[in-house]
Structure 1
Amino acid sequence: MDAISDSVFTDFTTVDEFSDDPSLLTVILDISPKGWFNIRSKVTLNDVTKSLLVFLNAHLSLNNSNQVAFITSSPQGSRFLYPNPEKNYDERSNGREPSPGLINKGMYRQFRIVDEAVLIELNEEIEKTADSISSNNAKSTLSGAVSLALTYTNRMLNLDQSITTTTASAINSTTNMNNNSSTSVTNSASNSSVTASGGSGSLTQMKLRILIISANDEDNINYIPIMNTIFAAQKMKLSIDVAKLGEKDSSYLQQAADATSGVYLHIDQPEGLIQTLCTAFFIEPSIRPLFILPTNSNVNYRASCFVTGKSVDLGLVCSVCLCIMSLIPKNGKCPTCQSKFDEKILQQLSKLPLVAPRKKRKVDS
């Protein structure tokens, strides 16, 4: 038993470097009404929102350069709640009291800006969803929300390369002061400021990850867009974590977490969601090899039919574009690339399986 316990805590990948780089956490909340209605006896959307706000505040408190983003996915579409380019809550918070009943007046300023923006925009989004709940458009827009998150992440990664942390600036200033102890105080201060702002030592690489919270039990996610977002996340080396509520697992979200080295967790008891968020999903991907995280070995890799949109166990594949079909098209052409199939092959596939006749058993006299 001692050997087993020692191997559990010692057999992990060695992480050579630890950095204090800033991190961008993008949270995607699926507010499909049907999924939250099915788990109304266990947890409400209000309770989940409170837990997410605590989780976001904890992420911001780790580093003063950490950033967050909040996106909602509803049957009407996907939308940014924070940051919202149309509304600047940073300017609105100056000289103005927080909205009554939403935010505590004595809260830290950065926490107050994020919490107030998320709560106000989320209330408006829920009202819009409630007004159009009678419509038949119940398709999931989660793939669009992930696309928005990847677009915003790519912008933060490529356009905001001049992000510096207070820790790096302090280290550079201390180093320059020690090296230039013989020079004047003014020159050393100017040199340290130049190094902190323009030197390569203070430029940091932002860490990226996405967290998806969904209670939708139906696999109505568009297969092609969600797979494209998975491939894009792999290329960006971005982890997609999934906190799945409800009764059923989501095969496509399982594939997203497994392909991007993220954490997929099906939460059966969402009453203690804040504890799950602060343990399984709070650890940065760079130091996850040092921890024993929940793993999902039963990943459902089923694909979706390009014609019907339903999951298939056994189907047909186009040899030109690799289109997956659960049935033979009536026009004999691929629905994606319009390639014409061979008539002989279609006739063979359309034939029903033949049952060989059973041989009569001889009866001994």
Structure 2
Amino acid sequence: MDAISDRVFTETTSTETSNDDPSLLTVILDVSPAGWYRIRDQTSIDELAKSLLVFMNAHLSLNNSNQVAFIASTPQKSKFLFPNPEIDYDEIRTSSSSSGSASNQHQKTPTLVSKDMYRQFRVVDEAVLEELNVVFDEIANGIQDINNNSTLSGALSMALTYTNRMLTLDQSISTTTASAINSTTSMGAGSGSGNTATNSSTSNPSNSITSMKSRILIVTANDEDDVKYIPVMNSIFAAQKMRTSIDIAKLGFEDSSYLQQAADATNGIYFHVHDPRGIVQTLTSAFFIEPSIRPFIILPTNSNVNYRASCFVTGKSVDIGFVCSVCLCIMSKIPPSGKCPACESVFDEKIIAQLSKGPSVLSKKKRKIDTNGAAK
């Protein structure tokens, strides 16, 4: 936590009142085998999964209305581990509360889960661990073709889609609640005394309505900067519109420039965990703070954000390249077709000829020397 030692304490004033609104936490775990193999001497993915479950349970314990989601990003696909649409969690809660059939139905319960655990914790832990073991078995048995492509951008899109659905559902519930409050208060307003207090509550019904907050946490150990630039930028713009912060817990030895941009653009936290053996302490300190109260907390900052873009043709990051004047497409080289790969605008042949010219070295004029040895 040395990154927060140089911060200066400043007094800030807040115009918003503190609230206890429910929050949605979506965790994305990148399980690419290559990245975890490099840090096999420091930690294992099993230990990290247990630390993430502790972090998610702590989030659920803050408010009984808090929600969590868990997505695994494999080299082949992205998959929801929790909630799983194919599983009815109400039946799990009912069967876990029963005494007779619970022992028969939960014989495969991991040792991490105990009988004295809070019901919501148990449902989340069992679902995540069982689905994560299935993902590991698929990778180990070769069911999923291991390649160098990253599906982290797809997992981020899935997280934003689920977040948007939860926020829309919460908004519909809030609207229904507001209409019920308005109808109740309007009925009470016409009956005798208490009209002043009733009218005040009717004029501002939003004070009794809660709205769900959301944030995304990405945990990855992949040192290869192979994240697709265009889907990531689209996800960043969507997260900005939804006011969803994207936090990054980067393990491994190298930083990820695209994930740095995602955290910086969405007012999230980017933290490079050099020693993952104490990852649970890092999660509960650096990433546990809700975005609404982060202006009052000293958090780790990342001032060296790499804003390099990615080439639309090769997919690699570029420092110097060409930009389309129509759609601002970035290219490290001009396509042979002479068209923009994004908007298919035809480039001017004269401009292409000028840009294709190599660097030329101007020859210096030789100085004439007279018979006396003096230069003219």
Place the TM-score, normalised by the shorter chain, in its bin.
0.7 to 0.9
Amino acid at match of 2:216: I
Partner of 1:307: 313
1:140-189 Cα offsets, whole Å, 9 max, x none, are 1111111111111111111233668xxx9xxx9xxx9xx99xx9xxxxxx
- Deviation, 1:333, is 1.1
Q: TM-score, normalised by structure 2?
A: 0.83
Give the aligned CA root-mean-square deviation in angstroms.
2.7
Rounded Cα–Cα distance in structure 1 between residues aligned with 2:90 and 2:13: 42
Amino acid at match of 2:116: G
Larger Cα-atom Rg = 2
Q: Please say if 1:235 is aligned against 2:244.
A: no
1:124-153 Cα offsets, whole Å, 9 max, x none, are 112112233884632111111111111111
Partner of 2:28: 28
Rounded Cα–Cα distance in structure 1 between residues aligned with 2:51 and 2:120: 17
Q: TM-score, normalised by structure 1?
A: 0.85
Counterpart of 1:124 (choices 134, 137, 150) is 134
Counterpart of 2:287 (choices 281, 289, 299) is 281
Q: Please say if 1:159 is aligned against 2:169.
A: yes
Q: Please say if 1:111 is aligned against 2:117.
A: no
Q: What SS is found at the alignment partner of 1:132?
A: coil
Q: What SS is found at the alignment partner of 2:286?
A: coil
Partner of 2:363: 357
1:274-329 Cα offsets, whole Å, 9 max, x none, are 01000110000000011110110000000000110000000001111111110111
Partner of 2:99: none
Partner of 1:335: 341
Rounded Cα–Cα distance in structure 2 between residues aligned with 1:342 and 1:225: 29
Q: 1:25-174 to 2 correspondence within 5 Å?
A: 25-95=25-95, 96-97=102-103, 98=106, 99-102=108-111, 103-132=113-142, 135=145, 137-161=147-171
Q: Please tell me whether the aligned partners of residues 240 and 260 of structure 1 are also in contact (alpha carbons under 8 angstroms).
A: yes
Rounded Cα–Cα distance in structure 2 between residues aligned with 1:262 and 1:66: 19
- Deviation, 1:362, is 6.6
- Deviation, 1:122, is 0.6
1:22-61 Cα offsets, whole Å, 9 max, x none, are 0000000010110001111111001100100000000000
| Unaligned segments of structure 2, at least 5 residues | 96-101, 193-200
Identity fraction in percent: 65
Partner of 2:352: 346
Rounded Cα–Cα distance in structure 2 between residues aligned with 1:35 and 1:133: 19
| Unaligned segments of structure 1, at least 5 residues | 184-194
Q: What SS is found at the alignment partner of 1:161?
A: helix
Q: Please say if 1:262 is aligned against 2:271.
A: no
1:243-288 Cα offsets, whole Å, 9 max, x none, are 0000000000000000000000000011000010001100000000
Pick closer, same or farther for the CA change 1:335–1:19 going to 2, 3 Å.
Answer: same
Aligned residues: 335
Amino acid at match of 1:104: S
Q: What SS is found at the alignment partner of 2:233?
A: helix
Pick closer, same or farther for the CA change 1:288–1:137 going to 2, 3 Å.
Answer: same
Amino acid at match of 1:308: T
- Deviation, 1:13, is 4.8
Q: Please tell me whether the aligned partners of residues 89 and 117 of structure 1 are also in contact (alpha carbons under 8 angstroms).
A: no
Structure 1 range deviating more: 251-260 or 321-330: 321-330
- Deviation, 1:88, is 1.9
Partner of 2:232: 226
Rounded Cα–Cα distance in structure 2 between residues aligned with 1:32 and 1:12: 42
Amino acid at match of 2:298: I
Rounded Cα–Cα distance in structure 2 between residues aligned with 1:80 and 1:123: 13
Pick closer, same or farther for the CA change 1:45–1:86 going to 2, 3 Å.
Answer: same
Q: Please tell me whether the aligned partners of residues 327 and 343 of structure 2 are also in contact (alpha carbons under 8 angstroms).
A: yes
